[in-house]
Amino acid sequence: MYTFHTTVYVRPDSAAPGVAISLGGLEVATLQTTQATLVEPFPVSFEEATDRLNALPRMFCEPDGALVWTTDQGWQVDGTLYDRQGRLWYLELKGSCSPEAFDTLLAAVVPAELPLVFQLAREGVLLDAAEFRRVATHQAG
């Protein structure tokens, strides 16, 4: 199970290894870049992203980008899609779900080969996908 509050961006080419930090007793490798480099939009329009998400069972994504996804297994993901010049710019996601559900959500709007960066909302640090998954699993435990 994952527990998270993150913002998901397209990973900029300038992202480089940052300092290692401890989050709740878990040693985590961060990424370093400036907020100004997190500007590359996803290769999907905002409308395509909302349509694709709404195709997921029990997903409700409003035209303004607000979303909620629930299951009868007891997990829920809330979030917001943000656009820039008609394309999906980034996603803010908060909640808990299985790793498979998280992958399904991302796959609905993100090509598998697209590198991502995850910014933890509370800590404000940037992580690659593997480190994000470690933290989300640790926070769920």
Q: Please give the full DSSP string across 18-43, using - where no structure is assigned.
A: EEEEEETTEEEEEEE--GGGTTPPPS
pTM > 0.75: yes
Q: How many CB atoms lie within 10 A of CB 102?
A: 21
Mean pLDDT within 109-138: 94
- C-alpha closest to that of 44 among 92, 111, 91: 111
Q: What percent of the chain clears pLDDT 90, i.e. is strictly above it?
A: 88
Query: Tokens standing for 48?
Result: 């395509």
The pLDDT assigned to 29 comes to 96
Q: What is the pLDDT of residues 68-81, one digit of tens each?
A: 999 888 899 999 99
Count of domains observed in the chain: 1
Quote the domain boundaries for residue 52. Answer: 2-140
Mean pLDDT within 98-127: 94
Q: Given pLDDT bands bounded at 50, 70 and 90, which one contains residue 140?
A: confident
Q: What is the pLDDT of residues 45-59, one digit of tens each?
A: 999 999 999 999 999
Q: What percent of the chain clears pLDDT 70, i.e. is strictly above it?
A: 99
Q: Given pLDDT bands bounded at 50, 70 and 90, which one contains residue 24?
A: confident
